[in-house]
Amino acid sequence: MTKQLSLQGEVIATGLKFPEGPVALPDGSVLVVEIAGGRLMRVSPTGELQVVAELGGGPNGAALGPDGHCYVCNNGGFSWRTDAGFSRPTGPAADYAGGCIQRVNLDTGAVDTLYTHCDGIALHGPNDIVFDAHGGFWFTDFGKTFEDRMLRGALYYARLDGSFIRRAAHPVLTPNGVGLSPDGKTLYMSETETARLWSYPVLSPGELGLEPWPSPNGGRLVHGLPGYQRFDSLAVEENGNICVATLVRGGISVISPDGNLLEFHAAPEGYCTNICFGGADRRTAFITLSGYGQLFAARWPRAGLALEA
């Protein structure tokens, strides 16, 4: 039976422009991207905001690499609607020209663009990212939704020096969060519009084991939510559970590797978009509440997985 819980914690930062991609740093600060602001921000332990880098477009997901730089998935930008202080994306930006993977020097704020294409095909909307033990990274490309059409997404693998990128699974309908199991042998991907969590065996860096038809994307279905709900980004616990930010209802769905929905932690708003773990014991969950531009910190019942970096 699923435990119904409420997030217990506090808002530690406000005034962010649709924050996403939280990254907990050793000094207690947290990096977040601002999708609507086009920036990488640092939130101090006392809540002060500092601009780390101007990224442009729509920075969406972030992760620390083994070289100490921050790697950012940039979706190319959204158009926006704001009602009574609550913002939400409505489509591509007027100047949308494709997405990219960016590298940010945290000391200087210098930004390099690593990838805009794979085998001559443009990246549509890179979304979320996770590093593996080999120094490369997996990332989702959400695709792009226009008023009358949708560009489908994919799962990719790339090296951090800009020398290699490979499309590992395609097509995928709105792939969003991505994470690895504690042993690195399973890749998890959350699908937004279906509220489904999929898994893939990792055969080697850049190569996934793919299920045959009728799997729509080569993945194995781990869990799907009923009714109208949507999945966003995810993080993995030390014990292997997958914590998926859940839109509409608003909160964090905790799913076991064998597909059981163990817990739902209700958030203060419907656009609960991402989660990462920090603190000395990795039991502080930093959660982006994007519609109202907030970063929330909650005490989590278990430790998060130590990420590769």
* CATH number of residue 68's parent domain: 2.120.10.30
242 in a structural domain:
no
156 in a structural domain:
yes
293 in a structural domain:
no
161 in a structural domain:
yes
Reported as a pLDDT band with limits 50, 70 and 90, residue 276 is very high
Supply the pLDDT for residue 222. Answer: 98
CA 7, chain centre distance (Å): 19
> What average pLDDT score do residues 292-298 get?
98
Q: Residue 209 belongs to what domain range?
A: 18-228
Give the chain's end-to-end CA distance (angstroms, integer): 36
> What average pLDDT score do residues 233-247 get?
98
pTM exceeding the 0.75 threshold for the entire prediction = yes
Rounded CA separation 63/127 (Å): 11
149 in a structural domain:
yes
Reported as a pLDDT band with limits 50, 70 and 90, residue 1 is confident
233 in a structural domain:
no
pLDDT exceeds 90 at position 232: yes
- Give the single-character DSSP code of 290: T
187 in a structural domain:
yes
Number of domains in the chain: 1
Rounded CA separation 285/226 (Å): 25
Rounded CA separation 115/93 (Å): 20
Supply the pLDDT for residue 199. Answer: 98
pLDDT exceeds 80 at position 309: no
123 in a structural domain:
yes
pLDDT exceeds 80 at position 230: yes
